[in-house]
Structure 1
Amino acid sequence: MPHTSRTTFQGNALAAFAFLLWGLMPLYFQMLPGADTNELQAFRITFSVPFMLLVILVMGKKLPSLAALKADKRSVALCGLAAVIMCVSWYNFTWAITHGQVLAASLGFFINPLFAIALGVMFLGDKLSRAQSLAVILGSCGIGYMVYSYGELPWSSLLMGGCFALYGLCKKFIRFDSLTSVTLESALLMPFALSYLFWLGITDQSMALAQFSISDTDTWSQLLLYMGAAPITLMPLIFFALAISRTSLSMIGLMQYIEPSMHFLLAVILFNEYFDQVKAISFALIWTGLLLCTLEALPALRQKRTNLKLGS
């Protein structure tokens, strides 16, 4: 069934809102400066399960039966792999934005499309266009210049961008719907996260529960911020999942730069992170490559939108 212009508009709005929420996420985590990243990750995983179950209930969806899960063990296994990959990506993202490294997060998600292009070529048989080939070369030059100048790889950014691209590749082969797969990913990791939180609690090493008192609002706010990491990180994903079926992947691909652009602006303008000449040149090379890909995609996108209007 072809998209109507109304449905396409709703999809574009949902996608833009999802990337806007992702872009604003550093503001939330600034309230947890120097947070224990391991504990924060464990809280996020643990509380993701009840939150996703609530979302599925509110949306009137149904989880697959145990028999359906057993019948598609490959998708279950891929959900487990996707969960581990996303865990690595989110760990680096969370560490960056709670330790004054929002620019690293921005760089990670700017280079994510370059990783996605490379994985598409290696595993999906995609062919690179001229603009995509040039974008990969320019992105490699940008990272190479940073390595040459600083004498080390931007590991945090590379892990963020690379793992997020690998996560997307895994999702290509999972036959469950988006809400089910996200819930299953969290559920598979939940026993490990709960065990870690239990160990922190009995050994008095929990930062979220440090000096916790039922009558102390300050300690309550600390705990709620750790628990809130689940809905804060999942809400954009839900809006993104809703947008996928209502608009084109080309439009979503163009709008995905909203997130790292906002991270960049927040880092430089609001958080006063150091932005030197090396970063300026590296970012400029990567931005140029992404701009070329965007300009190349626009004519095809306009043609597709015209075809959709004619078909509606």
Structure 2
Amino acid sequence: MKSRSGPALAIFSFILWGITPLFYRLLPDANPLELLAQRVFWSLPLLLLIRPLIKQRTLWRSVWQDKRSLFYCLLATSIMAVSWCTFTYAITHNQVLAASLGYFINPLFSILLGMIFLHERLSLTQKLAVIFAFAGVGYQLWQYGELPVLALVMGGAFSLYGLARKFINFDIITALTVETLWLFPVAIGLMIWLPANHASALTDADITTKIYYALTAPVTLLPLLFFAAAIKRTTLTIVGLSQYIEPTLQFILAIFLFGEAFDSVKGVSFSLIWIGLLFCMWGLFHGWINQRKKLNHSVKYVQNE
């Protein structure tokens, strides 16, 4: 079902994701593993409360019977844990620019994964997008002598997560709940192990800090819920174009608010990747225009008949 609210919901979800670094500035030098544990621990009750409100949810009986989807939920949540820990490390350790680069690269990784694992054929614009993305990353390697590891791990892991999600037959909230259930024992283990090894920031933290850690759950889930609602109410093209809002906002925050270094090397690297994304966006937009033309032609043909 498509509606006028769909694009607005998609845009709003990516705006929320884009300004997420503002929240995590309240937790400087946070331990990513502890953040992961707290996010999972507090997300589970929230998801269990939200799930009954979803009308077309997958029944639990069907969930336990679908072993393939259960396995891919385990795979997806393992990949997402890597992506999320890398992301939270970046934005709590003054590397928001790396997070921005990671999510700019993410759509281009997704194109490559679609070609490799789903045997999707690349259009000319997609090929050009991938070439420019590799050129951007390669330029940093050439100039700095090292790869932008954080950005590549974030972009690659999130793309792999999206690929794993394609093989899960559950609705998005049920899938998230199952993924969280898989990680819940890990979260409990971390919540015991970190304090026992004097590696917990929460052991002697004040109540405000503990509340911030607990709030990582709604901060993570809220934009995801708007995103899930948008998916049902608009086209994937609109969602695809809207996703660039998130890294753009993170880029603006990193440069103009957090004062992160942005030298000429990063300028060239980002510019090459942005050119690639322009080709990617043009391909999406052109495909959407052609689809609309075919639909209008079909409607006119039926009316003439």
So what's the TM-score if we normalise by structure 2?
0.93
Deviates most, 127-136 or 194-203: 194-203
Aligned letter for 1:89? Answer: S
Aligned letter for 2:30? Answer: A
From 104, 125, 130, the counterpart of 2:119: 125
- Whether 2:69 is the aligned partner of 1:82: answer no
Q: Which runs of 5+ in 1 are unaligned?
A: 213-218
Match in the other structure for 1:16: 11
Deviates most, 293-302 or 266-275: 293-302
What's the offset of the Cα at 1:230?
1.1
Q: Output the CA distance in 2 between the equivalents of 1:185 and 1:236.
A: 17
Corresponding pairs, count: 298
From 92, 102, 127, the counterpart of 1:108: 102
Deviates most, 101-110 or 43-52: 43-52
So what's the TM-score if we normalise by structure 1?
0.91
Aligned letter for 2:214? Answer: M
What's the offset of the Cα at 1:157?
0.5
Q: Output the CA distance in 2 between the equivalents of 1:77 and 1:231.
A: 26
From 53, 61, 73, the counterpart of 2:67: 73
- Whether 2:43 is the aligned partner of 1:56: answer no
Runs of 4+ displaced beyond 4 Å: 58-63, 308-311
**Preserved contact between residue 110 and residue 286 of structure 1 (Cα < 8 Å):** yes
**Preserved contact between residue 209 and residue 223 of structure 1 (Cα < 8 Å):** no
Match in the other structure for 1:260: 247
Q: Output the CA distance in 1 between the equivalents of 2:175 and 2:296.
A: 30
Q: Output the CA distance in 2 between the equivalents of 1:193 and 1:142.
A: 37
What's the offset of the Cα at 1:305?
4.7
What's the offset of the Cα at 1:61?
6.3
Aligned letter for 2:262? Answer: F
Q: Matched residues, percent identical?
A: 47
Match in the other structure for 1:216: none
What's the offset of the Cα at 1:197?
0.3
What's the offset of the Cα at 1:125?
1.5
From 192, 198, 216, the counterpart of 2:192: 198
- Matched ranges for 1:135-284 at <5 A: 135-210=129-204, 212=205, 219-284=206-271
Q: Output the CA distance in 2 between the equivalents of 1:104 and 1:28.
A: 17
Q: Deviations over 1:158-183 (max 9, x none)?
A: 01000110011111110001000011
| Change in 2 beyond 3 A, CA 1:58/1:309 | farther
- Whether 2:21 is the aligned partner of 1:41: answer no
Q: Deviations over 1:74-109 (max 9, x none)?
A: 100100000000000001100000000000000000
> What secondary structure is seen at the aligned counterpart in 1 of 2:119?
coil
Q: Output the CA distance in 2 between the equivalents of 1:93 and 1:71.
A: 34
Aligned letter for 1:37? Answer: P
Q: Output the CA distance in 1 between the equivalents of 2:167 and 2:57.
A: 21
What's the offset of the Cα at 1:293?
1.8
- Whether 2:282 is the aligned partner of 1:288: answer no
Q: Which runs of 5+ in 2 are unaligned?
A: 300-305
